[in-house]
Amino acid sequence: MNMQNAPDIRELSYAEAIREAMDIALGSDERVVLMGEDIGVYGGAFQVTGDLIDKYGPDRVMDTPISELGGAGVAVGAAMTGLRPIFEFQFSDFATLAMEQIVNQAAKIRFMLGGAVSVPLVMRFPAGSGTGAAAQHSQSIEAWLGHVPGLKVIQPSTPEDAKGMLLAALEDPDPVMIFEHKILYKMRGPVPEGHYTIPIGKAAVRREGKDLTIVATSLMVHKALAAADDLAQNGIDAEVIDLRTIRPMDRDTVLASVRKTGRLICVYEGVKTLGVGAEISAMVAESDAFDYLDAPIFRLGGAESPIPYNPELEKAVVPQVPDILNAATELAQGRL
């Protein structure tokens, strides 16, 4: 972590850490602007932007019309002309309305113009299930965007990472898509004061172990850590890797862990088929780490279903701590 003027650590919520990063960026760089539906006076659908409009005014914290396609297009154009926009979707699901601007414009303009123009754009996506928001407001679509060359896709899992990776994204010349799990917004943790960055493309080993590797993303990191604590009571030592970045993926950290433990579980909330875990599995299978495996790779992803509204059904279609615990136990004991 590259930390500047950050001597003190205190606790902030995930949402507060994001707001502080945006406050720092707005205060230090006049090119930075916030854009999105209801981010101004209302403070954002999840109150992440808060009262920043009072501090910086409506020319820097701009409410956009109810048109994701239009708002995203304005953000892309603003980035091309020298601004550093941070565009917030109310829900990640609504980005489906703006795929033209994200996939066909933001991701490709630098390539198609031979590097003459870059698109230094940050887009924020409140994502994931667990809030009872039903099928059209609870999806995990990070793998969609991770498939697109030209985009960088990150999933911070802690308040410290949420702040540091947003500040890093603002320094990047290419469009960076930040998926923020809605359940994490109230989670608290230590966050350094001042400006610091956490590199995009670098995973974090959250727990070291020797018996198996669990690679997890976003909220699933915390569920994996809880499962690892239970596994330890049964004599199974799990290593937990927080992937943090979907594209570009940290190949070295994942492969080094697999070579050490010989077993791998991929845990992610998005639908299992063609998800993040499929890419991790292929990455291992195409490397020398495959020769170190003592068991098949196990993917633990979301069910082949839209997210239900019923709270018990909602829990059932995405991995939970008992699911990780059971899969890891069977894998470690050679039953998978």
- Rounded to the nearest 10°, the torsion over CA 14, 158, 87, 72 is -130
Going by C-alpha positions, the residue among 140, 134, 147, 191 that lies closest to residue 307 is: 134
Active-site residue, 137 included: yes
Confidence at residue 177, expressed as pLDDT on a 0 to 100 scale: 98
2-197: CATH topology: Rossmann fold (3.40.50)
Active-site residue, 181 included: no
Distance of alpha carbon 188 from alpha carbon 172, whole angstroms: 27
Using CB atoms within 10 Å of the CB of residue 16, give its burial: 0 to 12 exposed, 13 to 18 middle, 19+ buried: buried
Total length of the chain: 336
Q: pLDDT tens digits for 174-186?
A: 999 999 999 999 9
Confidence at residue 336, expressed as pLDDT on a 0 to 100 scale: 66
DSSP 307: P
Percent of the chain predicted with pLDDT > 90: 96
204-332: CATH topology: Rossmann fold (3.40.50)
Is the pLDDT reported for residue 4 higher than 60?
no
If you search the block for the tokens 């985009």, which residue do you land on?
A: 151
Distance of alpha carbon 264 from alpha carbon 266, whole angstroms: 7
Q: pLDDT tens digits for 269-312?
A: 999 999 999 999 999 999 999 999 999 999 999 999 999 999 99
Q: Residue 6 — pLDDT band, cuts 50, 70, 90?
A: very low
Average pLDDT over residues 312-334: 95
Q: Residue 2 — pLDDT band, cuts 50, 70, 90?
A: low
Confidence at residue 8, expressed as pLDDT on a 0 to 100 scale: 63
Percent of the chain predicted with pLDDT > 70: 97
For the chain, give the mean pLDDT: 96
Going by C-alpha positions, the residue among 331, 332, 322 that lies closest to residue 224 is: 322
Going by C-alpha positions, the residue among 84, 102, 82, 83 that lies closest to residue 92 is: 102
Confidence at residue 184, expressed as pLDDT on a 0 to 100 scale: 98
Catalytic residue among 20, 88, 137, 239: 137
Distance of alpha carbon 198 from alpha carbon 167, whole angstroms: 8
Confidence at residue 154, expressed as pLDDT on a 0 to 100 scale: 98
- Alpha helices for 286-320 (secondary structure H): 311-316
Reading the block at residue 180, the tokens are 């923020």
Of 9 and 275, the one with more pLDDT: 275
Average pLDDT over residues 57-71: 96
Is the pLDDT reported for residue 264 higher than 80?
yes
Going by C-alpha positions, the residue among 257, 277, 279 that lies closest to residue 268 is: 277
Could you list the beta-strand ranges (E) of 74-155: 84-88, 122-127, 152-154
Q: What is the DSSP string of 13-81?
A: EHHHHHHHHHHHHHHH-TTEEEEETT-SSS--TTSSSTTHHHHH-TTTEEEPPS-HHHHHHHHHHHHHT
Catalytic residue among 20, 37, 68, 269: 68
The reply to whether 204-332 shares the fold of 2-197 is yes
Per-domain boundaries in the chain = 2-197, 204-332
Average pLDDT over residues 215-244: 97
Average pLDDT over residues 193-198: 97
Average pLDDT over residues 50-65: 96
Q: Residue 333 — pLDDT band, cuts 50, 70, 90?
A: confident
Average pLDDT over residues 21-30: 98
Is the pLDDT reported for residue 7 higher than 90?
no
Q: pLDDT tens digits for 74-110?
A: 999 999 999 999 999 999 999 999 999 999 999 999 9
